[in-house]
Amino acid sequence: MKLATGSLDKAGVIARIKSEAAVAIIRTDSIERALGAANSVIAGGFRVIEITYSFDGATEAIAKLVDANENDLLVGAGTILNRRQAHDAVGAGARFLVSPCVLPEVIDAAGELQVAIIPGAFTPTEIYTAHSLGANIVKIFPAVRFGPEYLKAVRGPLPHISIMPTSGVDASNVAEWFRAGAVAVGAVSSVLDPALIQNGDWTELTKRARHFMDAVRAAR
């Protein structure tokens, strides 16, 4: 395995996500498009990549990205809904798992596999439940509805929980999310526009990724 981050333990993976502060979330329908999008955002500066289980070849796409890596990437798997997917993803080289909701089965599997787990949650009850079950970072999803002010309000009583917003984060508001207390942010359609991926417009994806990462660096 070429992945330099393959030697990181779970704590190291979590620290790396917080240090990089941005995760590119790739949701598409084929191995070719997933890898094309990944390579495009890598060229734009992303070093943490999440391949979602939104297509049958997600496991293979993760394995190919890990195997071909020459950029010290941290590769994870998203939309993990059950134990089997968790095992498949980690077997392919994923170092962190992300789910769209609080799924004890997936959180338990991540613990057994000794990889970082980032479940999705929205309400304070869901966020605290995810944390109490073993979440390393909690993903506010969807974050598009109420924006950074919602995160700021949640962190008032729950300052000890690491939170990463996704959906609703873009270059124009990323600084607000960090000021509200986000430990990292997820880039979805603002960078990885589904139409651009479908059309293979890799140059525009790289341009958007670079713009987003410039905003992240400026905000940190």
Confidence label for 5 from pLDDT (cuts 50, 70 and 90): low
Query: Which segment of 61-75, 105-119, 120-134, 151-165 scores lowest on mean pLDDT?
Result: 61-75
Catalytic residue among 32, 139, 149, 152: 139
Q: From the DSSP assignment, how many helices (H) and strands (E) are in the chain?
A: 10, 8
Place of tokens 């890799």: 202
146-179, pLDDT tens digit by residue? 899 999 999 999 999 999 999 889 999 999 999 9
**Cross-strand partners of 117:** 97
Give the pLDDT of residue 88.
Answer: 98
Residue 139 annotated among the catalytic residues of the structure: yes
Catalytic residue among 2, 18, 50, 60: 50
Percent with pLDDT over 70 in the chain: 96
41-94, pLDDT tens digit by residue? 999 999 999 999 999 999 999 999 999 876 689 999 999 999 999 999 999 999
Residue 207 annotated among the catalytic residues of the structure: no
Place of tokens 């077997």: 91
